[in-house]
């Protein structure tokens, strides 16, 4: 894992942090809008990874993002790694919520 992470360097970028199809829409004028951010400085492929992980985005949406995000020597590996970490965190979070619900019911 450390070998994979050390394979390239990147400069942190300002990312949306919670990009999924529920946080994308259009304005009254029909212009695209992205809302409900969880903005932080992170890996520039984070938003692409989240968009691909949770789906609901067309290549028309993703193509310009792929052109703007700085490319790395390992190309999509960063995106796959971020998707993996996001899945791991989401799964851990959901399991924790389930345990809290179960423990509360058992405590009654």
Active-site positions?
18
| DSSP letter, residue 20 | S
- Find the length of the chain: 108
Quote the crossing angle between the two packed helices 46-54 and 77-107, to the nearest 10°: 60
Structure tokens, 106: 């058992």
Question: How far is the C-alpha of 59 from the C-alpha of 57, rounded, in Å?
Answer: 7
Instruction: Indicate if the alpha-carbon torsion angle 25, 37, 50, 44 is positive or negative.
Output: positive
């Amino acid at each position: 894992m450390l070998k994979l992470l050390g394979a390239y360097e990147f400069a942190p970028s300002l990312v949306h942090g919670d990009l999924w199809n529920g946080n994308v829409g259009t304005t009254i004028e029909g212009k695209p809008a992205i809302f409900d951010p969880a903005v932080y400085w992170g890996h520039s492929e984070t938003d692409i990874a989240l968009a691909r992980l949770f789906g609901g985005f067309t290549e028309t949406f993703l193509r310009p993002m792929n052109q703007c995000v700085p490319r790395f020597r390992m190309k999509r590996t960063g995106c796959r790694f971020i998707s993996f970490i996001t899945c791991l965190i989401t799964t851990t979070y959901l399991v924790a919520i389930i345990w809290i619900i179960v423990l509360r019911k058992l405590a009654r």
